[in-house]
Amino acid sequence: MKCNPLDQVPSRLVLAAFFFANYGVGLLIYFYLLPAFVPEGLASLQDSSPGVRFVLDNIAGLTGYLLTGLLLWLAPGPQRDELAALVLNLPTRTEAGTYLKLGFAMVGVSMALLYLVYYPLSIIAPDYVQQWLASTPVLMYWDENSLYLPGNLAGIVLMVLLAPVVEEYLFRGYLLNRWTLRFGAMPAMLMSSLLFALLHQDILGALVFGLLASLLAMQTRSLIAPILMHLGNNLLVVVLQWADLAFISGFEPETLESFRDSVWIGLLGLVLGAPILRAYALQHFRPAGPLLLKHQNGGGGEDYLA
């Protein structure tokens, strides 16, 4: 019986690779490479236009995820070729459509959860929510001077293609499997989903997403299902933000008043998304205990251990 190569790599190693590629490399660029080519360094960058900063940030993010993906692929060493078994377990066209639809539905539920958390906070702690709104990055940017195509293309590729693949390999691949061996399936699912959530601005929505993606990975014995759900989620987010920027709000900073007035979006997302997720969960994940136990015990006789 073959061992899952995702089980064999210490979680410390893959987490170190992720944080080094996404944060360490960025610090090296900003503090060492940038001053070498731009004498003014960070001061020049801070004084540059929002479009220039947007392009640099997205290219840096794209570079970080490309490096992360490469390191995660190389991590299993001699067992690297066996990773293909986790990728080539392709779903049918109907199944693929279902996973994409789950991603679309998750967008609606995430918006509902976001308003559930931040709408009351906008009344209790308005300054905090205003700061959160101001710090929320845009996925796309353009102005009367330029379309900033390098930055926009880098951002779209990062969001729609790289993030689903890299993040699912890390959280539902390496961490979920490795921590299942150490702590059990339920703690592993909770821990990997919580860490995934903490790296996103919408923590509660990302936590629910992580739990659903973990159950999908366990159910299908493949990372393709959570990758497709992740892709569908991010694709719809990109399309919705483009529509908002192009036809509704533009690039005007969102205010507390406009945020509160748009609470209906969260309600609509809940009405449209929750029934889809509930129906799938009841059909495939209820009860969850046998699924978790099967994953913890190595898949019940499958070729790969959990």
Confidence of residue 175 (pLDDT cuts 50, 70, 90): very high
Least confident range from 33-42, 43-52, 184-193: namely 33-42
Look at 118 and 86; give whichever has higher pLDDT. Answer: 118
pLDDT recorded at residue 78: 73
Spell out the domain ranges in the chain: 83-296
DSSP string, the chain: -BPPGGGSS-HHHHHHHHHIIIIIHHHHIIIIIHHHH-TTHHHHHHHS-HHHHHHHHHHHHHHHHHHHHHHHHHTTGGGGGGGHHHHS-PPPHHHHHHHHHHHHHHHHHHHHHHHHHHHHHHHH-HHHHHHHHHHPPPS----SS---HHHHHHHHHIIIIIHHHHHIIIIIIIIHHHHHHHH-HHHHHHHHHHHHHHTSSSHHHHHHHHHHHHHHHHHHTSSHHHHHHHHHHHHHHHHHHHHIIIIISTTPPPPHHHHHHTHHHHHHHHHHHHHHHHHHHHHHSSSHHHHHHHHHTTSSS-SB--
Q: Is 285 a residue whose pLDDT tops 50?
A: yes
Q: Is 15 a residue whose pLDDT tops 70?
A: yes
Overall average pLDDT of the 212-229 stretch:
94
pLDDT recorded at residue 1: 41
Q: Is 300 a residue whose pLDDT tops 60?
A: no
The model's pLDDT over 115-128, given as tens digits with 9 standing for 90+, comes to 999 999 999 999 99
Q: Is 2 a residue whose pLDDT tops 80?
A: no
The amino acid sitting at 149 is L
Percent of the chain whose predicted confidence (pLDDT) is above 90: 57
Percent of the chain whose predicted confidence (pLDDT) is above 70: 87
Q: Is 299 a residue whose pLDDT tops 80?
A: no
pLDDT recorded at residue 30: 66
Considering the chain, what is the average pLDDT of its residues? Answer: 87
Confidence of residue 275 (pLDDT cuts 50, 70, 90): very high
Overall average pLDDT of the 245-250 stretch:
84
* Burial (CB count within 10 angstroms: exposed 0-12, middle 13-18, buried 19+), residue 243: exposed
Confidence of residue 306 (pLDDT cuts 50, 70, 90): very low
Q: Is 280 a residue whose pLDDT tops 50?
A: yes
Kindly report whether the peptide bond that precedes residue 290 is cis, defined as omega within 30 degrees of 0. no
Q: Is 29 a residue whose pLDDT tops 60?
A: yes
The model's pLDDT over 91-103, given as tens digits with 9 standing for 90+, comes to 999 999 999 999 9
Overall average pLDDT of the 186-210 stretch:
96
